[in-house]
Amino acid sequence: MVTGDNLQTVKAIAFECGILDSDADAAEPNLIEGKAFCALPDKEREKIADQISVMGRSSPNDELLLVQALRKSGHVVAVTGDGANDAPALHEADIGLAMGIAGTEVAKESSDIIILDDNFASVLKVSLVL
């Protein structure tokens, strides 16, 4: 989960959704602030990218750097987004999924797939087809 929200909010949501299981999970690099990730050298970002479960206080550039680091490490990356701020990561990802109702035109144009009903369950359905 990558978001611009503050770390306390992100941590609470991650616990509620089951992304983080314990306070031990809620430490770097599993939970990281975008600015801290961005400040790392390229090789270090690539090294820890697949250990990150939650990134808070992230900028569009932080999200883009995470996608690039994951792809350089050999991962296939899917990104969901709805705003113009998500466009760089949506475009860079192997699969960009934009929200069709709430999504901006920039996000939709940067994506490979548009989720017409804005339902995250549809994202899972699309992922299973791919």
Whether omega for the bond prior to residue 41 falls within 30 degrees of 0, making it cis, is no
CATH architecture of the domain 1-75 equals 3-Layer(aba) Sandwich (3.40)
- pLDDT, residue 65, reads 98
The model's pTM = 0.90
64-73 residue pLDDT tens: 999 999 999 9
In the chain, alpha helices (H): 7-17, 34-39, 42-48, 60-72, 87-92, 105-109, 120-129
Specify the CATH number for 76-130; select among 3.40.50.1000, 3.40.30.10, 2.60.98.20, 3.40.630.30. Answer: 3.40.50.1000
Would the CATH topology of 1-75 be identical to that of 76-130? yes
* CA gap 92, 72 in Å, rounded: 12
Q: Where are the domains of the chain?
A: 1-75, 76-130
